[in-house]
Structure 1
Amino acid sequence: MASLSLRQVIKRYRTGKTELQVIHGVNAEIADGEFVVIVGPSGCGKSTLLRMVAGLEEISGGEIAIGPRVVNQLEPAERDIAMVFQNYALYPHMSVFDNMAYGLKIAKVPKDEIRTRVDKAAKILELGHLLERKPRELSGGQRQRVAMGRAIVRQPQIFLFDEPLSNLDAKLRAQTRLEIQKLHRELGITSLFVTHDQVEAMTLAQRMIVMNAGHMEQFGTPEEVYNRPATTFVASFIGSPPMNLLHHAPGNRPGQILGIRPEHLDVASDGWPVQVETVELLGAERLVHARLGDEALIVRLHEGEGAPAVGSTLTVRPRQDRLHAFDATTGQRL
């Protein structure tokens, strides 16, 4: 196992005379054994950053270190990492055992050692009864576990996960998230996990890197990112539904954006009068989509609170200790 350091990491692509910078000076110190999630929308640079750690993309500037070694010039095979991809990349003609053992055979690991490592990984991932099957005989979730097993047997210093759950349905995604958490607790290997799904990020991460257009907007625990977003982008991206960001709320100052999460608006006899447009029923709670003047606003109502009629006026009071202020020009937290 090892720590992972990203120091002013930059990525540029050149096409003819044109140069495009897609990663802008990312800095992050990831501790030995830590599980860090890189999250952001499509095209934000999160997979590019992961591929630079893996050695699949060259670094245009800065340093990447695994433990004490700067790995900028090292080939992927020399970095002692194992990667789990979105598409599983299993050999269809090989059994589960042979898929998991393939990398060890290429590395000329002794047969007894291969059997021991594969059996241990199969036990952890509950694949023992599937070792003789071919990938076509497996479900999507089982194939993903085989791909993780292939990474585990390598006994790497760092695991890299590139959106590994994207091909699974919602139920399997939730189940596999729990398996990944369990796996990390058992193995304790430093892990970097890329996803565009902020719920996935919040549930898996010990700390998370929030990316936007090649910039690292925030690096912190899920609680820090949710409760004290560093920018309006983070506030709007993390949270389902996202934070309300208001330019013209009562009491707001010029040049400032006021932020309030939907669950921190309480129905009250006095406060902000909002016009109800639609009401979403989500099991034990409801989301009220409304307007405060000319701005959209979402209010989360919990079980037992009556649903307002569409077209009616609802009065809500923001919790003062849960208000957030952002600079209207830069989007930075004030």
Structure 2
Amino acid sequence: MGAISIRNVVKRYGRGPSANQVIHGVNAEISDGEFVVIVGPSGCGKSTLLRMVAGLEEISDGEIAIAERVVNRVEPSERDIAMVFQNYALYPHMSVFDNMAYGLKIQKVPTPEIKARVDKAAGILELGALLARKPRELSGGQRQRVAMGRAIVRQPQVFLFDEPLSNLDAKLRAQTRLEIQKLHRELGVTSLFVTHDQVEAMTLAQRMIVMNAGRMEQIGTPEEVYLRPATTFVAGFIGSPPMNLLKGVADGSQFNVGPSLPLPRPAPRNGELILGLRPEHAELSPESGNSGWPLRVEMIEMLGAERLVYGRIGDELFTVRIDGTRAAPQVGNRVSLHMDPAHLHWFDARTSQRVQ
């Protein structure tokens, strides 16, 4: 019912040669009932794409279909969607009940049905005891739940979330993420969720779209995106700390980044490449012989359950994640870095696309 098709969608501001194109031919098929997160840095076009699905931005080229109906020229109010914004946008003079019921009253839904829908949504979101309160009497997390309740009562085909957790503190964000997951399991409504926070993307998404400069870099499950990033941008954006990326020249079982590094397995081809390795996939040992990569330790961060070791291989900065219970090397020491060849990622130095 609520499947979304995004086909070669382009967005330009202005006309002619001076037009500023901000979305470059995005294609995505979102299944009915799927929860898809659009993630990327500020200014990458993720909210613009969401607003085009909502009908709040005009589509320059391509088409968007909701439930197999092309909606390019359909008014937002007729698309059967509900949107939750970063700003809660609650009416301050209305009670929680009236805020949630307002849209239904405008649609002239019968009063008994309004009450039944609001009560059901309040039960799902644990707002039953707050229905008589005004927004000023609520916490930030409670206000966000009211905004979600207002969307739920409309019973739309599609939910659109535009960075709805940005105004919450870290603890509330984590709690609200759990509530959104629970909500999706119970309602099963197709959902598009925009965020710049990769933790939100990884924890909420069934699939995620990674955007960069108006282009879709990759679409896939969180596991696919994390384990096999399609480009160096995805590799560097998804993961905290990000994947280590070393640009150099491969020659059989050697990789020259200044110092020549021995490879546990030959590179997929010779010539200029970018080698990627996630911080948790590297092992440290006291420097000895030439079997590992020489790392000069510059800084240690203690993060409780883990430590981050920052060092340099030649002039290149490199990060290693180790268990917090292990003894860390001393700053200034040289250690040897080892890795499983299965965890090496290779990218084309010119296109930044994945090679292997």
TM-score w.r.t. the length of structure 1 is 0.98
For residues 286-328 of structure 1, give each alpha carbon's deviation from its aligned partner in whole angstroms, at most 9, with x where no partner exists: 0001100110000000133211111111111021000000001
Number of the residue aligned with 1:321:
342
Residue identity in the other structure for 2:327: G
CA distance in 2: counterparts of 1:280 and 1:175, whole angstroms: 27
Number of the residue aligned with 2:31:
31
Task: Give 1:282-293 correspondences, 5 Å limit.
Answer: 282-293=303-314
CA distance in 2: counterparts of 1:16 and 1:327, whole angstroms: 34
Report which stretch shifted further, 309-318 or 172-181.
309-318
Task: Give 1:138-287 correspondences, 5 Å limit.
Answer: 138-248=138-248, 249=257, 250=261, 251=263, 253-268=270-285, 270-287=291-308
Q: Is the 8 A contact 2:96 2:146 kept in 1?
A: yes
Residue identity in the other structure for 1:25: G
Q: 1:129 is paired with a residue of what secondary structure?
A: helix
Q: 2:5 is paired with a residue of what secondary structure?
A: strand
CA distance in 1: counterparts of 2:39 and 2:131, whole angstroms: 33
After superposing on structure 2, the runs of 4+ consecutive aligned residues of structure 1 that deviate more than 6 Å are: none
Number of the residue aligned with 1:133:
133
CA distance in 2: counterparts of 1:16 and 1:304, whole angstroms: 61
Number of the residue aligned with 2:59:
59
Q: 2:19 is paired with a residue of what secondary structure?
A: strand
Number of the residue aligned with 2:326:
305
Q: 2:43 is paired with a residue of what secondary structure?
A: coil
Report which stretch shifted further, 252-261 or 136-145.
252-261
CA distance in 1: counterparts of 2:49 and 2:68, whole angstroms: 20
Deviation at 1:254, TM superposition (A): 2.7
Deviation at 1:17, TM superposition (A): 6.1
Q: 1:50 is paired with a residue of what secondary structure?
A: helix
Number of the residue aligned with 2:252:
none
Deviation at 1:68, TM superposition (A): 1.4
CA distance in 1: counterparts of 2:25 and 2:351, whole angstroms: 18
CA distance in 2: counterparts of 1:246 and 1:30, whole angstroms: 35
Q: Which has the larger radius of gyration?
A: 2
For residues 60-80 of structure 1, give each alpha carbon's deviation from its aligned partner in whole angstroms, at most 9, with x where no partner exists: 010100011000000000100
For residues 21-73 of structure 1, give each alpha carbon's deviation from its aligned partner in whole angstroms, at most 9, with x where no partner exists: 10001000000000000000000000000000000000001010001100000
Residue identity in the other structure for 2:229: P
Deviation at 1:222, TM superposition (A): 0.1
CA distance in 1: counterparts of 2:98 and 2:273, whole angstroms: 59
Residue identity in the other structure for 2:235: A
CA distance in 2: counterparts of 1:163 and 1:260, whole angstroms: 30
2:351 counterpart (313, 330, 333):
330
CA distance in 2: counterparts of 1:124 and 1:287, whole angstroms: 40
Q: Is the 8 A contact 2:13 2:19 kept in 1?
A: yes
Q: Is the 8 A contact 2:303 2:324 kept in 1?
A: no
The alignment covers a number of residue pairs equal to: 334
Tell me: CA distance 1:296–1:179, structure 2 relative to 1, closer, same or farther (3 Å): same
CA distance in 2: counterparts of 1:76 and 1:254, whole angstroms: 52
Percent of aligned positions that are identical = 75
Number of the residue aligned with 1:105:
105
CA distance in 2: counterparts of 1:255 and 1:314, whole angstroms: 26
Residue identity in the other structure for 1:45: G
CA distance in 1: counterparts of 2:51 and 2:325, whole angstroms: 48
Unaligned runs of 5+ in 2: 249-256
Deviation at 1:156, TM superposition (A): 0.2
TM-score w.r.t. the length of structure 2 is 0.92
Deviation at 1:16, TM superposition (A): 8.2
Deviation at 1:2, TM superposition (A): 1.1
Deviation at 1:264, TM superposition (A): 0.4
Deviation at 1:127, TM superposition (A): 0.2
Residue identity in the other structure for 1:215: R
Unaligned runs of 5+ in 1: none
Structure 1 residue 75 corresponds to structure 2 residue 75:
yes
CA distance in 1: counterparts of 2:340 and 2:24, whole angstroms: 36
For residues 236-292 of structure 1, give each alpha carbon's deviation from its aligned partner in whole angstroms, at most 9, with x where no partner exists: 000000000001352464320000000000124541110000001111110001100
